[in-house]
Amino acid sequence: MISLSDLRKFKAEGRKFSCLTCYDASMAKAMELAEIDTILIGDSLGMAIQGRDSTLPVTVEDMAYHTAAVRRGNAHALIMTDLPFMSYATVEDGLKSAKAVMQVGAQMVKIEGGAWLSDLIQVLTRNGIPVCVHLGLTPQSVHVFGGYKLQARTREAANQLIADCQAVVDAGAAVLLLECVPAQLGKEIAELFPNTPVIGIGAGHETDGQVLVVQDMLGLTFGKVARFVRNFMKEQAGETAIVDAIKAYHAAVQDQSFPAKEHTFQVEL
Ligand code: KIV
pTM over 0.85: yes
CA separation for the pair 268, 27 (Å, rounded): 38
* Residue-wise pLDDT tens digits, 74-101: 999 999 999 999 999 999 999 999 999 9
* Residue-wise pLDDT tens digits, 185-236: 999 999 999 999 999 999 999 999 999 999 999 999 999 999 999 999 999 9
- Bridge partners of 255? none
Q: Which residues, at least 6 apart from 213, have a Cβ–Cβ distance to it below 8 Å?
A: 20, 21, 42, 44, 48, 221, 229
Nearest CA to ligand 1 atom 4: 42
Nearest CA to ligand 1 atom 8: 42
Q: For residue 159, is pLDDT > 90? A: yes
Residue 43 assigned to a binding site = yes
Residue 62 assigned to a binding site = no
What band does 240 get if pLDDT is binned at 50, 70 and 90? confident
262 in active site = no
* Residue-wise pLDDT tens digits, 2-27: 999 999 999 999 999 999 999 999 99
Atom of ligand 1 nearest to the CA of 177: 7
How many A from CA of 18 to the centre of ligand 1?
Answer: 14
Residue 110 assigned to a binding site = yes
Assess whether the C-beta atom of 199 lies below 6 angstroms from ligand 1.
Answer: no
From 35, 61, 92, 179, active-site residue? 179
Domains and CATH numbers, the chain: 4-263 (3.20.20.60)
Nearest CA to ligand 1 atom 2: 42
